[in-house]
Amino acid sequence: MDAHDTELKKELDATLHARRELGEEYEPALVDSFLEKVDQRVDAAVDRRVRRQLAEQQMAQARDARSATPTDSFAERFGFGLVSLVLAIPLSAIGATQAHLPGLIVAWAGIVGVNAVQAARSNAALFGRRRREKDSDCQE
């Protein structure tokens, strides 16, 4: 038994003792009073548990935010690269046909640029950590 159970047992004993002394006409009031105390204890226990669970969730979210991994899965990155290579074929043909070598260079520069932006977007957390580490080294 913990302290709360001991206190509640004392409250019950006091309520029963008061009923014996005061008689049955006071029984509803005594029972209501005792149940109100039980409700208060239950509410306090539930509040404590809810606060604890919220704190645990916030800690877990903070840990997840600190250990952020790239947002894209391997399959998404692989699919993006595959689609860009498949689209590179007609883009290369159109660029080479319309503007010869400069058109081909522009088409491939666009393909490389789109893939570079995708890589930077999916690894933003990694790039951000490197920048923060360099900044903290400079401040020391």
Domain that holds residue 94: 70-139
Q: Count structural domains, the chain.
A: 2
Residues 134 and 76 in one domain: yes
| Amino acid, res. 43 | D
Domain endpoint, select from 65, 93, 110: 65
Residue by residue, DSSP assigns 105-127 as HHHHHHHHHHHHHHHHHHTHHHH
* Predicted confidence (pLDDT) per residue in 101-131, tens digit: 999 999 999 999 988 888 888 776 656 655 4
Residues 25 and 42 in one domain: yes
Residues 81 and 54 in one domain: no
Residues 75 and 98 in one domain: yes
Domain endpoint, select from 46, 65, 84: 65
* Predicted confidence (pLDDT) per residue in 1-50, tens digit: 677 678 888 888 888 888 888 888 888 888 888 888 888 888 888 999 99
Rounded Cα–Cα distance for residues 24 and 33 (Å): 15
Residues 79 and 61 in one domain: no
Residues 46 and 77 in one domain: no
- 108, 96 contact by CB (below 8 A): no
At 72 the pLDDT is 60
Residues 87 and 131 in one domain: yes
- 15, 33 contact by CB (below 8 A): yes
Residue by residue, DSSP assigns 58-87 as HHHHHHHHHT---SS-HHHHHHHHHHHHHH
**Placement of tokens 């990155």 in the chain:** 77
Q: Is the pLDDT of residue 69 over 60?
A: no
Domain endpoint, select from 65, 84, 99: 65
Whole-model pTM?
0.41
